[in-house]
Amino acid sequence: MKLVYKYLAFFSVGFMLFLTLISMAKSPEQVIEGKWEELIWEYEKVDTNENSNFGFNSISNYVKNMISENLVIHQAEQWKFFPNGKLILEGNGYSKQVSWCMKGRGNILEIKYDNQNVEHYNVTELSKDKMILNFDTDVHARGIARLTFKKIK
């Protein structure tokens, strides 16, 4: 009977430690708040030319504009996330305010525009200083575009 109590106590302490660690962790909504700068656009699943000596992992601005033709975000160089669900996208002579929220288990970033267009990005990585977003493209190039950001202090 003492053995049962020991196991029960051991698992209870482990469970309490688990709950404490989870409650101390910041939610994705809190981590994403702040100013982020686009670093690079890349492709994760892109066809490569076997005759070429280099892979086509990063993309030019021309291809970036073609792929994200219907996206407003591709013009932004800085994304400013505010706690009230407001997101300001800023670029060269460009500024747009949209709304944002996290969906799922904090792994999907949803962005809504005034014209009711909605974009969904998979949040691949989110830390205090780095964010990686993925979205599927279906235009001229096949693949998943990956946007990498760094947080601006």
- Burial bucket for residue 123 (CB in 10 Å: 0-12, 13-18, 19+): buried
Task: Please tell me the predicted confidence (pLDDT) of residue 137.
Answer: 54
What would the pLDDT profile of 99-113 be if each residue is shown by its tens digit?
999 998 889 999 998
Ranges of residues in the chain whose predicted pLDDT is under 50: 48-56, 140
CA angle 88, 114, 120 (to 5 degrees): 70
pLDDT at position 34: 93
CB-based contact 57:42 (threshold 8 Å): yes
pTM of the model: 0.67
The amino acid at 126: L
For the chain, helix, strand, coil in percent to 5 are 25, 40, 35
